[in-house]
Structure 1
Amino acid sequence: MRFLLLGVPLSVALLGPWLVPDDLVRGAPFADSGLLGTDFVGRDVWHQVLLGGQGLVLTAVLATGGAYLLGVAWGLAAATTPRVVDEVLMRPLDILMAVPSLLLLLVVATLAPGGALVWIVMLVHLPDIARLVRACALEIGSRPAAEAMRMQGENRWRIATGFVAPAMARVLATDAGTRLTGSLYLIAAVSFLGVGVPPDSSDWAVMVDRNRGGLFLNAWAVLAPALLIVMLAVGLNLTLDRMPEKADHDRS
């Protein structure tokens, strides 16, 4: 079931733009023509669904992946360096956490080009990821195996990358589902509010916002993109949550 929940929206998002014909035409708003009818400006809803998910998915994946690359390195550095360096690395993140994430996204999306959205979502997730990695690394770094590596003369970076980082992989894999879902939520929320995107752009969240006025005329113009967003979020969480269990089963 989880593969179906994840596979359907991912397939539509990634492969959909290749299936849309070049000669798109417009009809009457909220008409019954086509597979799912038309939207508020007369475009085919099915074609808009095929076009509307790629940007959302790619932006969420890039932002979450970038946040983990930076956050893991940041947290490991804080956990394996002297206390003074730890304080210098972690205190700016406390300031960043004090800024409401959605407010930050709305301001930047209004003032900056669309590409900045990836960087802002990365910054939103960075403090939590770095703090999680630091906490895990401090606990793992105090285990007997880490102490034995120190006694053998291994340097801090070798211990961090060779022992500490692999030991926290299960925690990070479980957390990744929540972070990726959070990225989808933030990006969809900004698009739904119409900030930084054209009012008639092909985007699932924009479709929900722009077509809700005609919900009783053509419900599919709202339900189709909304269901795909929900399926993607649930499917991601279920799949990533089961990955550590599968890894344990394979090792046994």
Structure 2
Amino acid sequence: MGALLVTVPLLLALAGPWFVPDDRTRGGPFMPNSWLGTDFVGRDVWHQVLAGGRTVVLVALLATLLSYLVGVPWGVVAAMSRPRVVDDLLMRPLDLLLAVPSLLVLILTATIAGPGLPVLVGVVTLVNFPDVARIFRGAALEIAGRPALEAMRLQGESWWRTSIVYPGRSMVRTLAADSGVRLTGALYLVASASFLGVGVPPDAADWAVMVDRNRVGLFLQPWAVVVPAVLIVALSVGLNLVFDRALRAEARS
């Protein structure tokens, strides 16, 4: 079930734009004159669905990857550093970022930087990486106190093996458990940002923008809202089911 819920939205998001014609106009707004009808400006809803998933999915994936690329080394260095002042210098600024609601960050960014996909990727990364850093700092602190790591240090193992290789191998399960939740949160943030007008134009072919712009005609043409909303929800739920299944299989093995 999880694989099915993930595969359908991903296929539509990644391959859908190849099957979209240049002219998507099918008549007036919210008309039932095509398979899924038309949207608020008369464009074919099915063509908008095919064209609207790539930004949501790719931005969420890229922002999640950048969050881990920045947050995991940040947390591990903070936990493994011998002078504890380094830990304080690295982690206290993140407490300030965590205190600011993510939607407030999106609104402030929309006001200061304006729309744009690079801005959207940066904002979602900025919102996510403090959580990632704190989670992996906590995991690295537990690893740093293990007798096996102390034995490696006494045997003269290199800094690379004691601070990078061994902690990294030990945190694979933490990474797998966090990835599903983190990617789902990134999808939520990207959809919220598109809903607020950050990252994409207000008339763009984007699943979140479709939900926002077509909700005024929900009772006239519900497919323009229901289909993109269901695809976003299916992708989020499916990702968590897939990661949970993988963790259970790894635990049994």
1:174 to 173, 177, 180: 177
The worse-fitting range, judged by mean Cα deviation, of 155-164 and 65-74 is: 155-164
Q: Tell me which of 123, 126, 132 is aligned to 2:126.
A: 123
Shift of 1:196: 4.7
The equivalent residue for 2:245 is 242
Q: TM-score, structure 1 length as denominator?
A: 0.95
> What value does the CA root-mean-square deviation take over the aligned residues?
1.4
Matches within 5 A, 1:1-252: 1-82=1-82, 83-112=84-113, 113-114=115-116, 115-249=118-252, 252=253
Contact 1:105/1:190 (8 A) holds in 2: yes
**4+ aligned runs moved over 4 Å, structure 1:** none
Q: What's the CA shift string for 1:18-69, capped at 9, x where partnerless?
A: 1112233341111112211111111000000001110010100000110001
Separation (CA, whole Å) in 2 of partners of 1:131 and 1:230: 27
2:233 aligned partner, one-letter code: V
Cα deviation for residue 119 of structure 1 reads 1.1
2: CA distance, partners of 1:196 / 1:137: 35
8 Å CA contact 2:63, 2:121 repeated in 1: yes
Answer whether contact 1:109 1:117 (CA < 8 A) is retained: no
CA-CA distance at 1:185 after TM superposition: 0.7
Give the superposition deviation at 1:72. Answer: 0.7
Aligned-partner residue type, residue 105 of structure 1: L
How far apart are residue 246 of structure 1 and its match? 2.7
Partner SS state of residue 8, structure 1 = helix
Distance 1:17 1:98 in 2: 39
Alpha-carbon contact 1:26-1:41 (below 8 Å) kept? no
User: Residue type of the partner of 2:75?
Assistant: G
In 1, distance between residues paired with 2:49 and 2:120?
Answer: 22
Distance (Å, rounded) in 2 between the aligned partners of 1:173 and 1:77: 20
Structure 2 residues without counterparts, runs of 5 or longer: none
The code of the aligned residue for 1:177 comes to: G
CA-to-aligned-CA distance 1:151-198 (integer Å, 9 cap, x gap) = 111234321222111111101111111111111111111211334532
CA distance in 2, matches of 1:104, 1:192: 14
Determine the C-alpha separation between the residues in 2 that align with 1:212 and 1:224. 12
Other structure's SS at 2:22 match: coil
Q: Which runs of 5+ in 1 are unaligned?
A: none
Write out per-residue CA displacement over residues 194-248 of structure 1, whole angstroms, 9 at most, x where no aligned residue.
3453221111111111111111111101100000000010011111222222334
